[in-house]
Structures are given as C-alpha cells and as structure tokens.
Amino acid sequence: MNKNSKLFILTIFILITAISSVNASSTNNPDQSNIIQEHEKVTENYRLTNNSNHTLLSFNKNNTQDSYDPEKLDKSRPIYFAMDHTNANDQIICDNIVDRLKSEGFNVVSAEIGPNKMSQNTLYLYEHNISNAIVFHLFNGVDPSTIRELAANGDDNRGRIVRQRGNDVVLAWYYNSVDCVNDNGSGLSYIHGSETGGMLKNPREYMEENDIIAICTSSDMGRHKENADYTGEKTVEEFIKLFNN
C-alpha cells in the first residue's frame, strides 16, 4: 500500500471517529435534550397564543381543551343587548332576557329596544374603542344590511373595526321572522333585500365565514309555530348554551 493510500484511509478513520463522538455527546447529554424540548414547547405555546381565531363561534365549533380560552368564554365580558320592535310586550320580553342573563352571571351593561339600536351599539363600541365585548341583537325580521354591518369582512368599515378589536357578535331571530339559520329554513338559500341593501344569498354560510354566531327560534313565517319563541325564553337559552357547550 503506497503512502497516499495510507493517508487517505487515516483521514477517513479520523472523520468517522469525530462524527461518532459528536452523536454520542448529543445522545448522552440530557441538558441539551431538555433545551431542545423546552424550545419546542415554547414554539408551540407561541403558536397557540397567537392564533387570531379567538371567538365564541370558533370555540363552539372546535371545542377542545387546546382551544379553551377562559378570557374569551368569561361571562363577565360586557354584553350590549338590543332587540327589534315586536308588539306591546317588547319591554316584558326584553326584561325576561336580561333578567335571565343576569341570573346566570352574565354582565349585561346595555339593553335597548328599537330598530336602530344595533347600529347605535356598533357606533358606541366604535367611538369608545371598546374591546372584548359581546354584541347580542334580537330581530323579528331579517335584513341583509344588519348582517353585513357586523360581518368580520363585511361592507361596513365601522363594523369591521369593531370586530378587529376582539368583540364577538351574536345575531338572533325569533317570533315571526324568516329562518335563515336552521336546516330547511325558508331563508336559507337567500333573504330579500331592503331599502338599505340588496338580497343576500346563503346567509348562514355568509355568517359562518364572517364569524357571526346565528340563533333562530322563529316561527319561520308560520311554517312551524309550535317551535317558535314568542317570549325570548328559548332565544336566551340558546345564547347561554354558547358558554356551556
């Protein structure tokens, strides 16, 4: 064997020995292993903490321990409630809902009745830079504009800003409203437009895509009155379930 061959073999032997030593050191060094595991743990915690989809809707659709966030499901979050006009019992219905929420430990800071109260609530949250609140509105008729106004990616710039501040939106329909929420509802394919906006196709799908929680306990224009809610009791029950599911 010539001199060059001996040098080549010696070089290969040295490289193999060096690589084996490094691998053995990594395997037998518990401190280094712990550092790697801790780094992976911190990375995962960062990923979970910075998940932007923190809404009541997402928690109830993906109800796992990893996604549970007590800050978002805390009943002490301020609730801004408003309801549309229905009949002479409006105030009684409003009181029924508010009293039930308060008895369950919810923090209702505002309760209004009137066709423009939703927009007024949105304006109030917008102007006062309010965050981490819940907008809860109850209607006896479906208007696409009220849905678009508080969609996460909707038409109304003020509504989008309110949503970007971490406020949740729950829209509910009851009494004699069209049903745009439940399977086989008369308004599931589309809902008619109004003087403030055009029709909206697939409203339930639109609301799901725009992070709006939808509740409907209506009579669906008389199609299933035996299941309808005329007092607000079934509607508030569905709202409470959002925190218990």
List the one residue out of 203, 243, 188 whose CA is nearest residue 57: 243
List the one residue out of 121, 138, 139, 123 whose CA is nearest residue 78: 121
Whether 90 has a pLDDT exceeding 50, the answer reads yes
Contact 227, 177 (CB under 8 A): no
Is 57 part of any domain?
A: no
**Half-sphere exposure for 107 (CA within 13 Å, toward CB):** 9
Number of domains, the chain:
2
Question: How far, in Å, are 50, 58, 66, 234 from residue 45 at the CA level?
Answer: 8, 19, 10, 39
Confidence category of residue 227, pLDDT binned at 50, 70, 90:
confident
Range of the domain at 203: 67-241
More confident residue, 45 or 135: 135
Tens digit of each residue's pLDDT (9 = 90 or more) over 25-83: 444 444 545 444 443 443 333 333 333 333 454 444 444 444 445 444 678 899 999 99
Residues 174 and 230 in one domain: yes
Contact 209, 154 (CB under 8 A): no
Residues 114 and 36 in one domain: no
Residues 44 and 112 in one domain: no
Is 59 part of any domain?
A: no
Residues 181 and 152 in one domain: yes
Residues 11 and 101 in one domain: no
